[in-house]
Amino acid sequence: MANRSCIIRLSRYKNALNRLKTLNFVRVFSDNLADAAGVTAAQVRKDFSLFGITGNRRGGYKVDELADQLNKILGKEQLQEFVLIGVGNMGRALLHYPGFERSGISIAAGFEIDPVKYNPDGKPPVLPLENLAEFVKSRNITLAIIAVPDYAAQQVLGLVLAAGIKGVLNFAPICLKAPNGSIVNNINLETELENLIYFVNAHENGN
Protein backbone atom coordinates (compact mmCIF):
# COMPACT_ATOMS: atom_id res chain seq x y z
CA MET A 1 0.00 0.00 0.00
CA ALA A 2 1.13 3.54 -0.73
CA ASN A 3 2.44 5.56 2.19
CA ARG A 4 1.57 9.09 3.24
CA SER A 5 4.46 10.73 1.38
CA CYS A 6 3.54 8.99 -1.84
CA ILE A 7 -0.08 10.17 -1.64
CA ILE A 8 1.07 13.73 -0.91
CA ARG A 9 3.22 13.58 -4.06
CA LEU A 10 0.24 12.27 -6.09
CA SER A 11 -1.74 15.33 -4.91
CA ARG A 12 1.06 17.57 -6.11
CA TYR A 13 1.28 15.86 -9.51
CA LYS A 14 -2.50 16.20 -9.81
CA ASN A 15 -2.36 19.92 -8.95
CA ALA A 16 0.43 20.43 -11.50
CA LEU A 17 -1.64 18.59 -14.13
CA ASN A 18 -4.61 20.86 -13.45
CA ARG A 19 -2.42 23.89 -14.07
CA LEU A 20 -1.07 22.33 -17.28
CA LYS A 21 -4.62 21.64 -18.43
CA THR A 22 -5.49 25.33 -18.14
CA LEU A 23 -2.47 25.96 -20.38
CA ASN A 24 -3.87 23.45 -22.92
CA PHE A 25 -1.03 20.95 -22.53
CA VAL A 26 -1.87 17.58 -24.12
CA ARG A 27 1.19 15.58 -23.05
CA VAL A 28 3.54 15.77 -20.10
CA PHE A 29 6.78 13.98 -19.15
CA SER A 30 7.87 12.67 -15.78
CA ASP A 31 10.57 15.39 -15.77
CA ASN A 32 7.91 18.13 -15.91
CA LEU A 33 5.92 16.64 -13.06
CA ALA A 34 9.12 16.08 -11.09
CA ASP A 35 10.00 19.78 -11.41
CA ALA A 36 6.50 20.84 -10.38
CA ALA A 37 6.51 18.59 -7.30
CA GLY A 38 10.14 19.11 -6.33
CA VAL A 39 11.17 15.45 -6.70
CA THR A 40 13.17 13.39 -9.22
CA ALA A 41 11.70 12.00 -12.44
CA ALA A 42 12.56 8.51 -11.20
CA GLN A 43 10.41 9.15 -8.13
CA VAL A 44 7.47 10.20 -10.33
CA ARG A 45 7.72 7.01 -12.40
CA LYS A 46 8.08 4.89 -9.26
CA ASP A 47 4.98 6.48 -7.69
CA PHE A 48 2.96 5.94 -10.86
CA SER A 49 4.10 2.34 -11.29
CA LEU A 50 2.76 1.59 -7.80
CA PHE A 51 -0.71 2.30 -9.22
CA GLY A 52 -0.09 0.65 -12.59
CA ILE A 53 0.17 3.98 -14.42
CA THR A 54 2.60 3.74 -17.31
CA GLY A 55 3.74 6.38 -19.74
CA ASN A 56 5.35 6.18 -23.13
CA ARG A 57 9.06 6.84 -23.12
CA ARG A 58 8.91 9.06 -26.18
CA GLY A 59 5.40 10.41 -25.80
CA GLY A 60 5.15 10.85 -22.04
CA TYR A 61 1.72 10.82 -20.42
CA LYS A 62 -1.56 12.15 -21.81
CA VAL A 63 -2.52 14.99 -19.46
CA ASP A 64 -6.28 14.27 -19.47
CA GLU A 65 -5.89 10.54 -18.96
CA LEU A 66 -3.31 10.94 -16.21
CA ALA A 67 -5.42 13.55 -14.41
CA ASP A 68 -8.40 11.18 -14.50
CA GLN A 69 -6.31 8.32 -13.11
CA LEU A 70 -4.93 10.47 -10.26
CA ASN A 71 -8.38 11.88 -9.47
CA LYS A 72 -9.71 8.34 -9.22
CA ILE A 73 -6.91 7.25 -6.87
CA LEU A 74 -7.39 10.35 -4.72
CA GLY A 75 -11.16 9.82 -4.54
CA LYS A 76 -11.87 13.06 -6.38
CA GLU A 77 -14.33 11.73 -8.91
CA GLN A 78 -17.15 12.82 -6.65
CA LEU A 79 -17.49 15.82 -4.34
CA GLN A 80 -16.14 14.88 -0.91
CA GLU A 81 -18.17 16.28 1.96
CA PHE A 82 -16.69 17.04 5.36
CA VAL A 83 -18.15 18.26 8.63
CA LEU A 84 -16.23 20.71 10.80
CA ILE A 85 -16.37 20.58 14.59
CA GLY A 86 -15.54 23.82 16.42
CA VAL A 87 -16.24 27.22 14.89
CA GLY A 88 -13.69 29.40 16.72
CA ASN A 89 -11.16 31.58 14.88
CA MET A 90 -9.48 28.65 13.12
CA GLY A 91 -12.75 26.82 12.47
CA ARG A 92 -14.31 29.91 10.92
CA ALA A 93 -11.30 30.37 8.63
CA LEU A 94 -11.58 26.74 7.52
CA LEU A 95 -15.36 27.03 7.04
CA HIS A 96 -14.74 29.74 4.43
CA TYR A 97 -11.42 28.50 3.03
CA PRO A 98 -11.53 29.25 -0.70
CA GLY A 99 -9.16 26.43 -1.71
CA PHE A 100 -11.57 23.59 -0.92
CA GLU A 101 -14.52 24.09 -3.25
CA ARG A 102 -12.45 24.30 -6.42
CA SER A 103 -10.77 21.04 -5.51
CA GLY A 104 -13.96 19.06 -5.05
CA ILE A 105 -13.96 19.28 -1.25
CA SER A 106 -16.95 20.79 0.51
CA ILE A 107 -17.67 21.47 4.17
CA ALA A 108 -21.31 20.43 4.55
CA ALA A 109 -21.76 22.07 7.97
CA GLY A 110 -19.97 23.33 11.05
CA PHE A 111 -20.95 22.09 14.53
CA GLU A 112 -20.66 23.98 17.81
CA ILE A 113 -21.59 23.68 21.46
CA ASP A 114 -21.85 27.49 21.87
CA PRO A 115 -25.41 28.59 20.88
CA VAL A 116 -24.09 32.09 20.06
CA LYS A 117 -22.28 30.56 17.08
CA TYR A 118 -25.24 28.60 15.68
CA ASN A 119 -26.15 29.82 12.20
CA PRO A 120 -28.50 27.32 10.53
CA ASP A 121 -28.98 29.57 7.48
CA GLY A 122 -25.24 30.13 6.88
CA LYS A 123 -23.40 28.75 3.90
CA PRO A 124 -22.29 26.38 5.22
CA PRO A 125 -24.66 26.26 8.23
CA VAL A 126 -23.39 26.08 11.82
CA LEU A 127 -25.48 23.61 13.83
CA PRO A 128 -25.64 22.31 17.42
CA LEU A 129 -23.12 19.55 18.10
CA GLU A 130 -25.93 17.30 19.34
CA ASN A 131 -27.25 17.15 15.75
CA LEU A 132 -23.97 15.76 14.41
CA ALA A 133 -24.78 12.04 14.38
CA GLU A 134 -28.13 12.53 12.65
CA PHE A 135 -26.61 14.91 10.10
CA VAL A 136 -23.67 12.72 9.05
CA LYS A 137 -25.91 9.66 8.85
CA SER A 138 -28.48 11.41 6.65
CA ARG A 139 -25.79 12.79 4.34
CA ASN A 140 -23.61 9.67 4.42
CA ILE A 141 -20.56 11.72 5.47
CA THR A 142 -17.46 9.89 6.72
CA LEU A 143 -14.93 12.74 7.03
CA ALA A 144 -14.49 15.43 9.69
CA ILE A 145 -12.20 18.30 10.59
CA ILE A 146 -11.71 18.98 14.32
CA ALA A 147 -10.84 22.57 15.28
CA VAL A 148 -11.77 22.70 18.98
CA PRO A 149 -9.52 23.72 21.90
CA ASP A 150 -6.96 21.12 23.01
CA TYR A 151 -8.77 20.17 26.24
CA ALA A 152 -11.93 19.25 24.32
CA ALA A 153 -10.30 17.44 21.40
CA GLN A 154 -10.11 13.87 22.73
CA GLN A 155 -13.75 13.93 23.84
CA VAL A 156 -14.87 15.43 20.52
CA LEU A 157 -12.93 12.73 18.66
CA GLY A 158 -14.93 10.12 20.57
CA LEU A 159 -18.23 11.81 19.65
CA VAL A 160 -17.24 12.16 16.02
CA LEU A 161 -16.23 8.52 15.63
CA ALA A 162 -19.37 7.38 17.46
CA ALA A 163 -21.37 9.39 14.90
CA GLY A 164 -19.94 7.24 12.12
CA ILE A 165 -17.00 9.35 10.92
CA LYS A 166 -14.06 7.27 9.62
CA GLY A 167 -11.42 9.91 8.88
CA VAL A 168 -10.45 13.01 10.87
CA LEU A 169 -8.13 15.91 10.22
CA ASN A 170 -7.27 17.37 13.61
CA PHE A 171 -6.31 21.04 14.02
CA ALA A 172 -6.52 21.06 17.81
CA PRO A 173 -3.03 21.59 19.27
CA ILE A 174 -2.79 18.06 20.66
CA CYS A 175 -1.80 14.81 18.98
CA LEU A 176 -4.93 12.65 18.78
CA LYS A 177 -4.61 8.93 18.33
CA ALA A 178 -6.85 6.94 16.02
CA PRO A 179 -8.66 3.96 17.49
CA ASN A 180 -8.81 0.87 15.27
CA GLY A 181 -10.95 1.31 12.20
CA SER A 182 -10.40 5.06 11.91
CA ILE A 183 -7.77 7.41 10.48
CA VAL A 184 -6.69 10.57 12.29
CA ASN A 185 -4.20 12.99 10.74
CA ASN A 186 -2.90 15.75 12.98
CA ILE A 187 -1.92 19.23 11.79
CA ASN A 188 -0.04 20.79 14.67
CA LEU A 189 0.97 24.37 13.98
CA GLU A 190 3.32 24.55 16.94
CA THR A 191 5.12 21.43 15.75
CA GLU A 192 5.37 22.85 12.22
CA LEU A 193 6.89 26.07 13.55
CA GLU A 194 9.33 24.19 15.79
CA ASN A 195 10.37 22.17 12.79
CA LEU A 196 11.04 25.34 10.84
CA ILE A 197 13.00 26.88 13.74
CA TYR A 198 15.18 23.77 14.03
CA PHE A 199 16.08 23.65 10.35
CA VAL A 200 16.71 27.40 10.09
CA ASN A 201 19.04 27.21 13.10
CA ALA A 202 20.77 24.09 11.74
CA HIS A 203 21.22 25.87 8.43
CA GLU A 204 22.60 29.04 10.04
CA ASN A 205 25.05 26.94 12.06
CA GLY A 206 26.21 25.22 8.87
CA ASN A 207 25.06 21.73 9.85
Q: Shortest Cβ distance from residue 48 to its own copies (Å)?
A: 15
Q: Which of 42, 64, 97, 158 binds its own copies (CB under 8 A)?
A: 97
| 73 binds its own copies per the rule CB under 8 A | yes
Q: Shortest Cβ distance from residue 12 to its own copies (Å)?
A: 6
The dihedral built from the CA positions of residue 168, 172, 173 and 176, taken in this order, carries a sign that is negative
Q: 153 near 135, Cβ under 8 Å?
A: no
| 80 binds its own copies per the rule CB under 8 A | yes
Residue 153 burial by Cβ neighbours in a 10 Å radius (0-12, 13-18, 19+): buried
Q: Which of 40, 42, 79, 96 binds its own copies (CB under 8 A)?
A: 96
Name the segment binding its own copies (CB under 8 A); options: 25-33, 60-68, 123-131, 163-171.
163-171
DSSP per-residue codes, 58-85: TTBEEHHHHHHHHHHHTT-SSPEEEEEE
Q: Which of 2, 26, 42, 162 binds its own copies (CB under 8 A)?
A: 2
The dihedral built from the CA positions of residue 21, 25, 26 and 30, taken in this order, carries a sign that is negative
Using CA atoms, how far apart are residues 115 and 22, in angstroms rounded to an integer? 44
Residue type present at position 174: I
Using CA atoms, how far apart are residues 180 and 93, in angstroms rounded to an integer? 30
- Closer to its own copies at the Cβ: 57 or 140? 140
Q: Which of 43, 119, 131, 188 binds its own copies (CB under 8 A)?
A: 188
Q: Which residues bind its own copies (CB under 8 A)?
A: 1-2, 4, 7-8, 10-12, 14-15, 36-38, 73-76, 80, 82, 89-90, 92-94, 96-100, 103, 105, 142-143, 145, 149-150, 166-169, 173-175, 177, 181, 183, 185, 187-204, 207
